[in-house]
Chain A
Amino acid sequence: MKILSIVTRPESAPRVPTPEEIERGSALISELAAAGSLIDAGGTWPGLLEMRVTRRAGDYSIVDGPFTEAKEVVGGYFLIDVPDREAAIALARRFLDTSGDGTFHFHEIIEAPRD
């Protein structure tokens, strides 16, 4: 199943990882990419565009970030392809083990039925 995942961190969490954590993280990414479980991933950066475009009762509102009121910050997204729910949980655990507290929000992507 293909899954879209947004990763959030408590605002205070992002910190400079130790060299060991960095090495473990790199190894994990290489492994998952090679195995085909990791389709794509991207980080977000505070200096880049942050914006909310909302339509409510036909009216649009556009709010520019950064959203400092947020309790959590978005770190980035992952697009993964795993066999089942358990594999997704395992993957999240492995990532969080290398990089500290945070939340993986998983959303399975609807795929057209194959015949």
Chain B
Amino acid sequence: MSENVAGRAIDAVWRIESPRLIAGLTRLTRDVGVAEDLAQDALVAALEQWPASGVPANPGAWLMAIAKRRAIDRFRREELGERKRDEFGRVELARQETAPGFDASLEDDVGDDLLRLVFIACHPVLSRQARVALTLRLIGGLTTAEIARAYLASEATIAQRIVRAKRTLSEARVPFEMPQGADRAGRLASVLEVLYLIFNEGYCATAGDDWLRPSLCEDALRMSRIVATLMPSDAEVHGLVALLEIQASRTHARIGPNGEPILLLDQDRSRWNRLLIGRGLDALGRSERLGGTLGPYALQAAIAACHARARIAEDTDWMRIAALYDALLEVMPSPIVALNRAVAVGFAYGPAAGLEAVEELRFEKSLEGHYLLASVRGDLLARLGRGAEAAFEFRRAAAATANARERTLLLDRARASGDVDIAARRSTRS
């Protein structure tokens, strides 16, 4: 019976209510794993009673009332070590049992608790994979099965990963508090990175059931918006939201009818989601208004915004994009950023200037054998009319990419460039 009731509504309710619930319980119990167990028990108990009672205006408070009860029961029942007993917050539990205003104070703290939970789930003591899984589970409210499907992993693998992550946090005695001082910037960077990784996993659907993965983009966006609400004065958080909103706005335009990728400049811009673009530009505005130098996410969002503002590809403000890449290269020096900068320079100041920028990267170790370098060179060479060299680069790029659709695209371009070259030679001969 309880299984029956729980089975149906549990996922939906869990997704809405669990993050705040687990966050509040983590503050009480100081253990993410215990908090999650209590939250789940409370949810099952609440679902059983809702048919009779109706759902109160504040279901979170109900769930918390049940969970606190269970926490006390568990606390009394189990033979806990003295250390654990103290950690469990005997004082805290005693206080809430007697203080009638406890629920109200809990409500006030809920945002802070949730933010602390975000920072715990993305704690550097965990591997990147573990951070991603734990964040989706605790903040995104996804089930283990949903996470497994999204990452094409077995449910057992993900379950194991989450269990280990919780154990690691428990053993490392990670405090339930907001990082301060010098620690803060690095910890926030980890949070933003995790959200970005989740989004990208959905956005760059390279394998598997494509249709399942856009949900990861939505989850990342949903969680990023929550974090932005909780940290309204942090420019980079708004920058990340802006970047994800604008990238998400192109979701439907970037895949062709046969599942083939459509490059940004070839996309049908009428299929871009204007609502998401609007939200993205708003978030970017918030980030810029907070002042200071723009961070890597805000800069990438600003670049994405240049594309979003151009009604047709020809209207793109490439000079501004090239300048933004200069700034991005300063805060985030990476060969891939430099390569993208070269592309922008090629559009802003002509293919010769672009090629010059690319040449600087030729001996970059990390780009060696990377299809993108060859593909960008090929494109610039083709525009300079150096067809044979361009075809050579496209073929090299095709050999380097692991993605079948990308390879087809590159080979087509190689053929097209080669043809141009042959045609050009013919015309010089005649």
Contact = CB atoms under 8 A, between A and B. Distances in A.
A26 B56 contact: no
Which of B8, B12, B54 counts the most A-chain CB atoms under 10 A from its CB? B54
Nearest to B57: A14
B1 A22 contact: no
Contacts of A9: 53-54
Contacts of B45: 22, 26
B367 interface: no
B58 interface: yes
Interface residues of B, number: 29
Interface in A52-102: 73-78, 95-96, 98-100, 102
Contacts of A33: 1-2
Contacts of A8: 54
A68 B51 CA distance: 19
A19 B9 contact: no
Which of A16, A29, A47, A100 counts the most B-chain CB atoms under 10 A from its CB? A16
Contact of B54 (A19, A29, A75): A75
Interface string B282-310: 00000000000000000000000000000
B55 A44 contact: yes
Contact of B1 (A25, A29, A73, A102): A29
Interface residues of A, number: 38
Contact of B49 (A18, A26, A46, A74): A26
A104 to B, nearest CB: 9
**Dominant secondary structure at the B interface:** helix
Nearest to A33: B1
Contact of A18 (B5, B57, B65): B65
Contacts of A16: 56, 58, 61-62, 65, 103
Given A29-B2, A33-B1, A40-B1, A14 B53 contact: yes
A64 to B, nearest CB: 17
B327 to A, nearest CB: 42
A31 to B, nearest CB: 11
B58 to A, nearest CB: 6
A113 interface: no
Given A16-B61, A40-B4, A43-B47, A25 B9 contact: no
Interface string A1-34: 0000001110001111111001101100100010
B52 A7 contact: yes
Nearest to A41: B51
Contacts of B48: 25-26, 29, 41
Contact of A75 (B1, B5, B12, B51): B51
B141 to A, nearest CB: 12
Interface in B110-142: none
B74 to A, nearest CB: 14
21 contacts: A9-B53, A14-B54, A14-B55, A16-B61, A16-B62, A22-B45, A26-B48, A29-B1, A38-B1, A41-B1, A41-B48, A41-B51, A42-B9, A43-B5, A43-B49, A43-B54, A43-B55, A45-B50, A47-B12, A73-B54, A78-B52
Interface of B: 1-2, 4-5, 8-9, 12-13, 16, 45, 47-58, 61-62, 65-66, 68-69, 103
